[in-house]
Structure 1
Amino acid sequence: MRESPSSRHAAEFLMDDEGVGSTPRVSVITPVRNACSTLLQTITSVQTQTFPDWEMLLVDDGSTDGSVELIERLARRDPRLRLIRSQTRHGAPAARNLGIRLARGRFIAFLDADDLWLPEKLACQVPRLEAGAGIVFSSYRRISPEGRHLGVVHARPSVQYRDALGGNPIGCLTGVWDRERFGPAQMPELPMREDYAFWLSLLRQGATAEGLPNVLAEYRVSSNSRSSRKFRAARATWGVLHREVGFARANVGFALYVIRSIRRRLGNN
């Protein structure tokens, strides 16, 4: 049997926190690759959570810009920060999967190295998870690379599998999921929209994702070409749907995705 990239990745990392033995309630997983310009803000947004029972796994994916040194410096002062250093580059999905395997918490959250959480995020979500929700997500704000507000993406009150076939309704930076309910879930290692494929894989198990109206996170919009990014995102969305439900149903789902994209552009989330 050929070894998967994830399996190879698991054998090619160094962990700097082997003496840490506590079991936090929430594990926050952040892939890091040359993110020094935004990483401090991202880590600080987790450190200032009003819910303190968390760990943050910062999975370095071959950074060369000082990101590792920054994490090491911060982790010396805050043992909840865990640096995991990959010896080779495998991409963000593989880094997240490595984080999932090494996480100690029951509830798993994702946060990219240029995005931010508002201080009350986990305090709002953990009680809903404790009450039995399998996935909890929220509204979030889009911001420019400089931090300028660009608008809000509003969360739906609830999402089931069939609802998600018209496009990804869960902002990856807002979702928290209960791994005791879903077992050893892994993110598909796709070039784009791997988070969408991941949420579909959980919702397919019969879960309902609970959406909170609160704006609890800020998503930093890339300065890359918007038109080319939208085309690639649309193509990747169709690819996820085709992989999930086949050609005919993928076409129907993609049509819904296009309609919802137009509605968002017109300001009707």
Structure 2
Amino acid sequence: MTEKVLDNNVLVSIGIPFFNCENYLEDAINSVINQSYSNWELILVDDGSSDSSTKIAEQYQNIDSRIKLYCDGTNLGLPSRLNQLSDLALGEYYFRMDADDIMHPERIKTQLAYLIDNPTVDLVGSGLIAIDNQNRIIGLRKGLNKDFYSLNDIVNGYWCVHPTVAGKTVWFKQNKYDPNLKRAQDYDLWIRTIQTSHLSKIEKPLLFYREASTPSLQKYKIAAFNSIKIYVKNREIIGSMKAIIFIFIKLVKLFIYFIYNLFNLTDRLIDRRSFKLESNSYQEYKEILETAVKSKVALQVMK
């Protein structure tokens, strides 16, 4: 690790967009507060929540000056909020995160050290531990770990899961998400930028990713059709024939998901994404997770 990181001189911006996430937001924020690296700002942007999410965010803003809440009462959608977050970021480096996920206590320290030690890298992802809605560990998410990813890797989905990404703030300010894409906006951004950007990945799991909070046929269908839209709009980058092949594959996967959903078996598809952990590793990550979400203050929020 570099002396610069040890000296805690680098300001890091963490961006969390949220919408009706009262069941998970406290854990997400606590996992930022419990980071081993402390020179950060946490930007919370509400996308028109109607539950107690905003009240939770307000209370944390009141107890920690590093936490900033932005709330305009409107629902603009995730990609617009992601662009807003990077525009608001003051740090030299920017960390993505979702409101239903949990940071490993060493996440910022580890990814920041990697970015500083590898100045040609624009974005770095990480491995992750999948969890369910009750913070129970599902397993270690499968993936391909490389120091440099190609266009072919990105199109095939071999890079990383979106909320594990960290990178140079200027990169996010210069490369925007497409506000017209309801889902898979990250996938589109990686495809559009991979030929001029250096994307890398750390194998170590640095995020507890909530696999089970979003599975539904409707959401999968929206993601699938947005992916098809991405293949069409980026066919000159991908190649027309490859774009057609990927569209066909996506439609087949949608049909398979429909069949699994018909028989209430979608959890099996989620389980297939992860490796089961050995008992020692399971216990280790269980303890890390408990440490990450441990609250240093009791909030009184009426839900």
Task: Give the total of aligned pairs.
Answer: 243
Give the corresponding residue for 2:105. Answer: 119
Segment of structure 1 superposing worse, 234-243 or 183-192: 234-243
Change (3 A) 1:227 1:265: farther
Question: Which position in structure 2 is the counterpart of 1:198?
Answer: 189
Report if aligned partners of 1:182, 1:202 keep a CA contact under 8 Å in 2.
no
Match of 2:151 in 1: 161
Contact 1:51 1:122 (8 Å CA) reproduced: yes
Distance in structure 2 (CA, Å) of the matches to 1:156 and 1:107: 22
After the TM superposition, which residues 91-110 of structure 1 pair with which residues of structure 2 at under 5 Å, given as runs? 91-110=77-96
- Which sits farther off after the overlay, 196-205 or 96-105? 196-205
Query: TM-score under structure 2 normalisation?
Result: 0.72
Distance 1:71 1:267, change over 3 A: closer
What is the SS of the residue equivalent to 1:70? helix
Structure 2 distance, partners of 1:73, 1:144, is: 26
Q: Does the 8 A contact of 2:57 with 2:69 survive in 1?
A: yes
1:267–1:85 CA distance, 2 compared to 1 (3 A) = closer
In 2, are the aligned partners of 1:166 and 1:256 still within 8 Å (CA)?
no
Amino acid aligned to 2:243: A
Structure 1 counterpart of 2:18 = 32
In 2 relative to 1, CA 228–109 (structure 1 residues): closer, same or farther, beyond 3 Å? same
For structure 2, list consecutive stretches of 5 or more residues without a partner in the other structure: 1-8, 257-268, 276-303
- In the alignment, residue 196 of structure 1 is paired with which amino acid? Y
1:83 aligned to 69, 73, 79, which one? 69
Residue deviations 1:18-47 (CA, integer Å, cap 9, x gap): xxxxx9622111111111111000001111
Call closer, same or farther: CA 1:170–1:223 in 2, change over 3 Å: closer
User: Where does residue 243 of structure 2 map in the other structure?
Assistant: 250
1:58–1:39 CA distance, 2 compared to 1 (3 A): same
* Identity among equivalent pairs (%): 25
**Do structure 1's residue 67 and structure 2's residue 56 form an aligned pair?**
no
Equivalent pair of 2:228/2:247 in contact (CA under 8 Å): yes
Q: Which whole-Å CA distance do the structure 1 matches of 2:36 and 2:144 have between them? A: 22
Residues 182, 55 of structure 1: alpha-carbon distance in 2 compared, 3 angstrom cutoff = closer
1:42 corresponds to = 28
Higher helix share: 2
Q: Which residue of 2 aligns with 1:12?
A: none
Measured on the aligned residues, the alpha-carbon RMSD in Å equals 2.7
- The AA in structure 1 aligned to 2:55 is E
SS at match of 1:170: coil
**What is the rounded CA distance, in whole Å, between the counterparts of 1:251 and 1:142 in structure 2?**
32
Determine if contact 1:166/1:255 at 8 Å carries over to the other structure.
Answer: no
Structure 2 vs 1, CA of residues 182 and 203 (structure 1 numbering), >3 Å: closer, same or farther?
A: farther
Structure 1 counterpart of 2:156, one-letter code:
G
TM-superposed deviation, 1:74: 1.1
CA separation of 1:45 and 1:182: change in aligned 2, threshold 3 A: closer
Which position in structure 2 is the counterpart of 1:16? none
Report the AA paired with residue 91 of structure 1: G
Comparing both chains, which one has the higher relative contact order based on Cα–Cα distances under 8 Å and sequence gaps of 6 or more?
A: 2
